[in-house]
Amino acid sequence: MVRLDNLTVSYRQHPALHHISGQFANGSLTAVIGPNGSGKSTLLKSIMGLLKLSGGHVQVSTPRERIAYLPQMTEIDRSFPMPVRDCVLLGCWSALGAWGGVNADMLARADAAIHQVGLEGFDERTVGSLSSGQFQRVLFARLLVQDADLILLDEPFNAMDSRTTAALLELIKHWHAEGRTVIAVLHDDAQVNAHFGQTVLLARELVAWGDTAAVLTDANLRRARTLAEAWDDSADICHTDEALA
């Protein structure tokens, strides 16, 4: 589904991701972990095409409209007084465009998604009036409506209560069972071990990629911490092969 070839992404010419290569198989369920500042969110944004690459390539084998991306909640502005149902219906954007009208089938899909995430009766509530856990359920309902082949989740359980986390994990397992490709940035090693078969461990560079049990070893985790602590943003600028060509 996704192939990375020598991917390098830089901010102010210092690498946030440094020569990353590997592939996410069709239908795989993969966690992306690593210390703070290790490039996890940058990886998802690179796959989405939201960042300019400093070097290498990202190849995605599904059209952009078949990719769903959930950023960190801190990046989402909830001040606009949008009702829950309208927010969920944004999952139909690729079919609607700027001027398309919502039809009965789309409304039915939105209502079914709201029910599936356990928010019946919240249809007309504004998103700004919801708790963090309730709002995250709304965003997952929007992903359900979007019906994507590739789903990218950036810290979807951050600051969530255990009940909400368990419910959202069930949705992720459901997507995986349907053959969708799911890539999730996480920070809870126990959660990764319990629910994700594949793991990518980053520390700006790639530490390990493969079966979760083989990646989450004490040696790999120590190496990731050591690499993260060794990075110096004031160091010499990294010149990629592409920049030198």
What confidence tens digit (pLDDT) does each residue in 129-143 have? 999 899 999 999 999
Alpha carbon distances (Å) from 165 to 10, 68, 115: 33, 19, 17
Distance CA 215, CA 219 (A): 9
Query: Residue 12: which domain range?
Result: 1-62+187-234
Please give the residue that has the higher pLDDT: either 184 or 100.
184
Within a domain: residue 45? yes
As given in the structure block, the two tokens for residue 113 are 């998604």
Number of independent structural domains in the chain:
1
* Beta strands 198-203; 29-33: pairing state: parallel
CB of 240 closer than 8 Å to CB of 55: yes
Within a domain: residue 72? no
Tens-digit pLDDT profile for residues 106-158: 899 999 999 999 999 999 999 999 998 999 999 999 999 999 999 999 999 98
Q: What is the CATH number of the domain that holds 38?
A: 3.40.50.300
Within a domain: residue 200? yes
Question: What pTM was computed for the model?
Answer: 0.89
Within a domain: residue 142? no
**Is the pLDDT at 68 greater than 60, yes or no?**
yes
- SS3 assignment, position 151: strand
